[in-house]
A and B are shown apart, each in its own frame.
Chain A
Amino acid sequence: GAVVSQHPSWVICKSGTSVKIECRSLDFQATTMFWYRQFPKQSLMLMATSNEGSKATYEQGVEKDKFLINHASLTLSTLTVTSAHPEDSSFYICSAAKSNQPQHFGDGTRLSIL
């Protein structure tokens, strides 16, 4: 089946650091990639949707200058949390999909900001 790899699995950083999370579709070319955020004991909230080669579409309330998304190829999207603070600590999950196909999710990245 389709495999989506997310890296790193867990990162702990000091406040003020920028952190980059990678999402790769390993065995298919994804026309669209999605980034979600999950707070403890809560559901996933969509942050942004990105298509290869174009700017990401952010959901309402998500700061695009804070959460930079780059989708440089059909197999790679990155999310950079700039100048991260403790309130940015969360579980970030990406997914990838071909057009009109189900989304396939990565295993998630746990971000802990001290």
Chain B
Amino acid sequence: GEDVEQSLFLSVREGDSSVINCTYTDSSSTYLYWYKQEPGAGLQLLTYIFSNMDMKQDQRLTVLLNKKDKHLSLRIADTQTGDSAIYFCAEQNSGGYQKVTFGTGTKLQVIP
């Protein structure tokens, strides 16, 4: 089945850039997502990229997709303490039910 992998933890200093990486195995992905989850809260969709795109930028967020290597990354510029959360990468396949598979989540710690 599909598999989505992320590193578990990332720590950066406030003001630095954060780069969270994700690899996936499904070659028939349509959409790839980045979600943010703060403690005790639901998922917040940060951004998503269609599988025929290489890059998408939205304010401080830059998503890069290397479809050949099945590698997705999220760069957060000028990381703030409010960015501390768990970030989930997810991929949606092109099958009939459009199943979304989530990664393990990366906990981002921003040090003031």
Report which A residues bind B (CB closer than 8 A). 6, 32, 34, 36, 42-46, 49, 51, 57, 93, 95, 97, 99-100, 102-108, 110
Contacts and interface: CB of A to CB of B under 8 A. Distances in A.
Q: Give 5 nearest A-B pairs by CB, closest first.
A: A107-B42, A108-B42, A49-B97, A44-B102, A43-B102
Contacts, number: 50
A42 B88 CA distance: 10
Nearest to B97: A49
Nearest to A103: B100
Interface string B36-50: 000011110100100
A44 B30 CA distance: 19
Nearest to B35: A105
Contact of B42 (A32, A49, A105): A105
Interface of B: 30-31, 33, 35, 40-43, 45, 48, 88, 92, 97-105
B43 A46 contact: no
Contact of B98 (A100, A104, A110): A100
B101 A106 contact: no
6 contacts: A42-B105, A43-B102, A43-B104, A43-B105, A93-B43, A108-B41
A112 B14 CA distance: 36
Contacts of B97: 32, 49, 51, 57
A41 to B, nearest CB: 8
Contacts of A46: 99-101
Given A49-B97, A110-B40, 11 more contacts: A6-B42, A32-B97, A42-B104, A42-B105, A43-B102, A43-B105, A44-B88, A104-B45, A105-B42, A105-B45, A106-B42
